[in-house]
Chains A and B, each alone.
Chain A
């Protein structure tokens, strides 16, 4: 249920209006009922990736006030620190005003203003030439894009495989780890059952995604007295309110989880029934070391995985509802030796190397604490079971009178993802959830539609046969199931500029935006012509190794040409990346545009039902700017991309709004799922409804469908839900989704490394593939930790964005920057004392990649071997409309400068991207540092410093004083 008896999240009796809200007769002349707005526009926030519903109050053509939409399934009326600061974002002096063409050297910030027509002409000419010759010479990477179903499709129509958004350096480990295991993951894919869970485990920094829903959820847990356990080196934010804070050493979460699994297995506290029904625990795995199918499932002639019926003593289809499958043991089927998946799990995790005592020191957690947490998990899962009195029917037609639940839930995000061992750690967390039987059950973790999908889901990445003037045969991003799906040539060379879906990062489901600049600069695997980017600060806080990245963006070849020949960039603000573009396409703010938050893309569904949303212009731009999506659509038409033109060559869509309503990806399925069909009565599939956007606007900017009671849990096997999902086009067929505790796709890569199959890794990559493509999750030392001298670099260094800025587009925001405009390096008291440091000292933070200077702040609530700071506070002088004396560019610092974008050279002098070897997720949190007090004359200012950017023509200088809102009062009082 989205709503209780009252609207909104804050509707407890202690949060309501007074019983009598008539103004008392105070006689003090206070106007207690001023008029607030002339109109209220309901749209979707874009201050971060959370996509809450907002009510924008417009007064005299200006934004008076923004509050949360009480009906919206994401935020239910609440609004975060960022959302309420949207006014300052919208009226920022750093907004770009007109298209810009570079006149000075790249990186100088010297531009001239041009008309849109000229901008289109330049881009069209350049891109046409690329498309006619070699479309992959366009690399199109879109950062914090919320329109990937459009941008990805555009890339596909253009014919370049070189497309991705920012997921590769954000949280692809979490997404891929989940999608390959349970067909869903956290955040957009699922959420804890906040109303029923009794024990909530939060791993790592999680203030990043699903900001308001998690906060609403935590509030519910606190109100009910449910236990919150946080596993995080830092005791800030959500961890501050945890009942139990476990200050783990970074990068060891996997070990900790395995120790919990070890304890649970040893004590027999796992849900065997759940495993048999919903997972591949009983599936038989071939155990013949030299065979080409070793480690793959034993299948029947139709390809169905088999299990062993312990009663009939014969193999059966694993999904046979009548079977009595064995969970353990070794068998012979058709002359092949095989064991169950669960046997492999037991063998691995019951090993003493995963016992609490064995991992305690490494994790920095007492063995007794690990045992206690395991006991608590078991107690809540098995002694505090929930039963909802709702009958449901599973996929096989078995009716269940109640919905049973084990009220343990978990959440993890960036903190787990951003390590080079993150993929397997994410899998480990899902394994733990599944062993406890807590996935999509009351009180557990719940999927948000369109998830669950098969693990892994549907389409494979396209781009094997990129050809001039030809669209790709699918979308650039997808899910590989084995080496055959990789985008590599016969020699194993990557086909994509970012090396996604290559042996470097086989499961790179979100691409590797963080490798593009280096690879394009090095011409590895090939040179490109144009790098087109949107909304991602790659010359600053979105790149690792910023200093070298800047050099690569400005580097010339021997002929004096830029090594990356042409850069097109779209941004709404004068960010640090804009000065590196040759052509700048100024975007609008989020209040000036159309957008769709689509089920085809990154949906905003709720576990109780699917939903999507729109943005629509609520104020008119006062500058010569255009929404990037409309620009892209026009560019598509000018280039003559199929899909963007009619048969007569005319533009198919007038703009993004037109596209949102009229585009159909497949028959009857378009960007928006609500009010489809001619009369707007259909959901999911249906004809185009020309009135669709208005229906969204009328409904508050979003569409949400509430599930029937019996569709809400066990979605992986719930007949009623699965049928609905098929009908909506979420899944191809109403078949059960089986959790892949053992991942066959990973094993296929291992087999290739052993010399089996059609597509094999080059000799040099075989050991790496063999090691990391383990079909069962395992733990290994994060890469940087494994190679650096730990005595020389004794500390882990982490970053997190403060909650009031996470995923927010820039801190030039006049209000938010007041809260944090200088970041400190937080150091544990004892660690500092050991280094002779005191509060407020200035220190050099040194890694193998360089050094950066900042000021420390002593703290107790942090793992002693860890230092951390707020990320992306440091800004470059000349950007974001900030004054030269702003703390951001003088005292704030960017840890990115010292995070390598590549691993150290291995024995064969090979350097990989500093990423997870499975997914290519950027390993931000692997960083090791030492801190050294700086000399007295070095204190007080950060280094490295960079040359100040010029500002673009007609850039308005930032005001000395801001009196936002004064005009409303003046008018109000004048009217009285």
Chain B
């Protein structure tokens, strides 16, 4: 059913900290290895050892150079499905394969209904949908729907694979519909932003921008060093210090 739920009980999503991401690709391959055997298995790789290798990945990390008057910064940027509140990728789907869950807001694909028309990938501004040409269906991030509720995992492991893997703790997970949740508070505290808000997709996932002081070196209020004022200069100062 590609009509959107009027509201969802929860708005589960990710918060990604661009101030902390070092671009190590840990989330990328953790996602790949979980999901290639998971709900949408496999994440097919075409020509895996050749010159036109093309695989299905649900999460990819770009790097950018962001240059402003204040200076430049390299920004590593993980990109995956944002589980939007008004995802056109769902409403354009002619078959009902794409849907948004009313319970938790996760945007999923029912592969058995997918005809591979690819229209959903055209409708997604973020490039979150990836086509598996081997199976002929569209695939995408499931927010690890087969982990976060999985009774076969220890309770503490019921988080998306990318969040569990991230070595710098740059990825966070929770209910962004609950203003009191830890993720919502993190977003509020750090000024988390939507991607392409002007398109009106209302992404659930938020990005925490690099901290403003970066490149300004403002965080240490150090006074300039002055040469020691002591007879005999530095050596005299040493003597005086030791005699005290």
Direct A–B contact present (CB less than 8 angstroms) = yes
- Which chain B residues (172-203) contact chain A, with CB distance < 8 Å? 172-175, 181-183, 185-186
- For the complex, give the distance between the alpha carbons of A964 and B55 in Å: 11
Given that A215-B168, A263-B225, A815-B55 are known contacts, is A34 also in contact with B22, CB under 8 Å in the complex? no
Asked if A18 lies at the interface with its beta carbon under 8 angstroms from chain B, I say yes
> Contacting A28 at CB < 8 Å: which of B29, B108, B183?
B108
Contact, CB under 8 Å: B152 / A10? no
Which residues from chain A contact B238 at a C-beta distance below 8 Å?
268, 272, 327-328, 342, 346
A885 close to B25 (CB less than 8 A): no
Say if the beta carbon of B207 comes within 8 Å of chain A. no
| Residues A965 and B37 in contact, CB atoms below 8 Å apart | yes
A969's contact among B42, B145, B224, by CB below 8 Å, is which? Answer: B42
Whether a CB of chain B sits under 8 angstroms from the CB of A935 is: no
Chain B CB within 10 A, most for which of A24, A212, A218: A24
Given A12-B182, A84-B29, A860-B67, are A962 and B48 neighbors across the interface (CB < 8 Å)?
yes
Taking the closest CB of chain A, its distance from the CB of B99, in whole angstroms, is: 7
Query: Is B169 a contact of A24 with CB atoms below 8 Å?
Result: no
Determine the chain A residues whose CB is within 8 A of the CB of B25 once the complex forms: 80-81, 802-804, 816, 819
B226 at the A interface (CB under 8 A): yes
Verify B227–A266 contact, CB threshold 8 A: yes
Cβ contact within 8 Å between B235 and A15? no
> Chain A contact residues (Cβ within 8 angstroms of B): what range?
35 or more
Complex A-B: 11 CB contacts under 8 Å: A17-B159, A24-B9, A32-B145, A65-B34, A93-B49, A375-B223, A378-B225, A818-B55, A819-B28, A861-B65, A963-B42
Alpha-carbon gap, A507 to B161, bound state (A): 45
Do B74 and A239 touch (CB < 8 A)?
yes
- Tell me the chain A residues, 67-120 only, with Cβ under 8 Å from chain B: 67-68, 70, 75, 77-85, 87, 93
B32 close to A13 (CB less than 8 A): no
| Chain B positions within 8 Å of A64 at CB level | 37
- Give every chain B residue within 8 A of A28 (Cβ-Cβ): 99, 101, 108, 110
Interface residues of B in 38-91 (CB under 8 A from A): 38-39, 41-55, 57, 63, 65, 67, 72-76
Q: Which residues of chain A from 960 to 974 have a CB within 8 Å of any chain B CB?
A: 960-966, 968-969
Which A residues between 29 and 62 are near B, CB-CB below 8 angstroms?
Answer: 29-36, 59
B173 contacts across to A, CB distance below 8 A? 14-15
Q: Tell me, in angstroms, the Cα distance from A7 to B133 when the chains sit together.
A: 40
Listed stretches A130-138, A222-230, A285-293, A920-928; interface member: A222-230
| Contact of B215 with A by CB under 8 A | yes
B140 at the interface (CB under 8 A from A): no
The stretch of A152-160, A241-249, A440-448 that contacts the partner chain:
A241-249
Q: Which residue on chain B has the smallest CB distance to residue A75?
A: B167
Query: How does the 8 Å CB contact mask read for B135-174 relative to A, with 1 for contact and 0 for none?
Result: 0000000000110111111011111010111111111111
A812 near B171: Cβ-Cβ < 8 Å: no
Across the A-B interface, the 10 shortest Cβ-Cβ residue pairs:
A885-B51, A24-B103, A965-B37, A81-B25, A215-B167, A379-B222, A958-B49, A965-B36, A13-B182, A23-B149
Chain A residues with CB below 8 A from B9, complex form: 24
Interface of chain B: mostly helix, strand, loop or mixed: loop
In the bound complex, CA of A9 to CA of B168 (Å): 9
Interface pair B44/A18, CB less than 8 Å apart: no
B101 & A26 in contact (Cβ 8 Å cutoff): yes
Given the interface pairs A240-B74, A886-B51, the reply to whether A14 lies near B186 with Cβ below 8 Å is: yes
Given A223-B169, A240-B76, A958-B48, A65 contacting B37 (CB threshold 8 A): yes
Query: In the complex, what residue of chain A is closest to B228 when comparing beta carbons?
Result: A268
B36, B146, B235: residue with the most chain A Cβ atoms closer than 10 Å? B36
Tell whether B126 is near chain A: CB-to-CB under 8 Å: no
**Smallest Cβ-Cβ distance to A369: which chain B residue:** B217
Tell me the complex Cα distance, A815–B58, Å. 13
- Residue A8 CB within 8 A of the other chain: yes
Q: By the criterion CB–CB under 8 Å, are B217 and A244 in contact?
A: yes
- Cβ-defined contact, B235 with A346, below 8 A: yes
Q: Residues of A contacting B23 with CB < 8 Å?
A: 236-237, 240, 803
Produce 1/0 per residue, A528-570, CB < 8 A to B.
0000000000000000000000000000000000000000000
Q: In the complex, are the beta carbons of A268 and B45 less than 8 A apart?
A: no
A934 contact set on B, CB distance < 8 A: none
Residues of B with C-beta under 8 A to A374: 225
Find B159's partner among A16, A804, A883, A962 (CB 8 Å cutoff). Answer: A16
List 8 additional A-B contacts (Cβ < 8 Å) besides A17-B157, A272-B238: A14-B15, A240-B75, A240-B76, A268-B238, A310-B239, A350-B234, A380-B222, A859-B65
Contacts of B28 in A (CB 8 A): 81, 804, 819
Report Cα–Cα, A661/B152, bound state, in Å: 34
Quick one: closest B residue to A275, CB to CB? B238
- Cα A961 to Cα B49 in complex, Å, equals 9
Using an 8 Å CB-CB cutoff, how does the interface string of B105-120 with A read, 1 for contact, 0 for none?
0001010000000000
Task: Answer whether residue B237 sits at the interface, using C-beta atoms and an 8 A cutoff.
Answer: yes
**Docked complex: A193-252 residues within 8 A CB-CB of B:** 199, 207, 211-212, 215-216, 218-220, 222-223, 225, 227, 235-245
Establish whether residues B76 and A80, one from each chain, have CB atoms under 8 Å apart when the complex forms. no
> What's the minimum C-beta distance from A342 to chain B, rounded to whole angstroms?
7
- In the bound complex, how far is the Cα of B122 from the Cα of A729, in angstroms? 65
User: A326 contacts the other chain (Cβ, under 8 Å)?
Assistant: yes
Contact of B37 among A372, A380, A960, A968 (CB under 8 A): A968
User: Given the complex of chains A and B, what is the CA–CA distance between A777 and B176 in angstroms?
Assistant: 54
A309 nearest CB across to chain B (Å): 11
Q: Are B228 and A890 in contact (CB under 8 A)?
A: no
B134 on interface, CB distance cutoff 8 Å = yes
Q: Are B215 and A268 in contact (CB under 8 A)?
A: no
Contact of B174 among A6, A18, A240, A378 (CB under 8 A): A18
Is B171 within 8 A of A328, CB to CB?
no
Is B21 touching A241 in the complex (CB atoms < 8 A)?
A: yes
Known: A67-B161, A804-B25, A885-B51. A219 touches B167 (CB 8 A): yes
CA distance A24 to B103 in the complex (A): 6
Q: Are A10 and B242 in contact (CB under 8 A)?
A: no
What is the distance, in angstroms, from A951's C-beta to the closest C-beta of chain B? 12
CB closest residue in chain B, given A384: B220
Residues of chain A with a CB closer than 8 A to B165's CB: 67-68, 78-80, 84
CB <8 Å contact, A33 and B213: no
Q: In this complex, what residue of B is CB-closest to A216? A: B167
B30 touches A268 (CB 8 A): no
Residue among A268, A376, A860 making CB contact with B237, cutoff 8 Å: A268
Whether the Cβ atoms of A268 and B20 lie closer than 8 Å is no
What separation, in Å, do the CA atoms of A36 and B147 have in the docked complex?
10
Query: How many Å from the CB of B19 to the closest CB on chain A?
Result: 6
Which chain B positions have C-beta within 8 A of A885? 50-52
List CB contacts (< 8 Å) of B203-239 with chain A.
Answer: 210-211, 213-215, 217, 219-228, 230, 234-235, 237-239
- Minimum CB–CB distance from B186 to chain A (whole Å) comes to 5
Please indicate the chain A residues that have their CB under 8 angstroms from the CB of B21 in the complex.
241
Contact A272 B38 (CB under 8 A): no
- Interfacial chain A residues near B130, Cβ < 8 Å: none
Which residue of B has the minimal Cβ distance to A32? Answer: B149
Closest CB in chain B relative to A814 CB, distance in Å: 4
**A803 contact from B24, B74, B75, B227, Cβ within 8 A:** B24
Q: Residue A22 at the B interface, CB < 8 A?
A: yes
Minimal beta-carbon separation of B185 from chain A (angstroms) = 8
Asked if B26 is at the interface (CB within 8 A of a chain A CB), the reply is yes
The answer for the CA separation of A208 and B92 in the assembled complex, in Å, is 46
A85 partner residues in chain B, CB cutoff 8 A: 29, 32-33
> Is there an interface contact between A222 and B39, defined as CB atoms closer than 8 Å?
no
Per-residue interface assignment for chain A, residues 366 to 387, with 1 indicating a CB less than 8 Å from any chain B CB and 0 otherwise: 0000011011101110000000
B27, chain A: closest CB distance, angstroms: 8
Q: For B104, give its contact among A24, A859, A964 (CB under 8 Å).
A: A24
| Closest chain A residue, CB of each to CB of B46 | A961
**Can you name the residue of chain A whose Cβ is closest to the Cβ of B146?**
A34
CB of A764 closer than 8 Å to a CB of B: no
Q: Is A881 on the interface with B (CB-CB < 8 A)?
A: yes
- Does A434 reach chain B (CB closer than 8 Å)? no
The reply to whether B228 and A245 contact each other, CB–CB distance below 8 Å, is no
- For A881, the closest partner residue in chain B by CB is B49
Q: Which residues of B contact A963 (CB under 8 A)?
A: 42, 44, 134
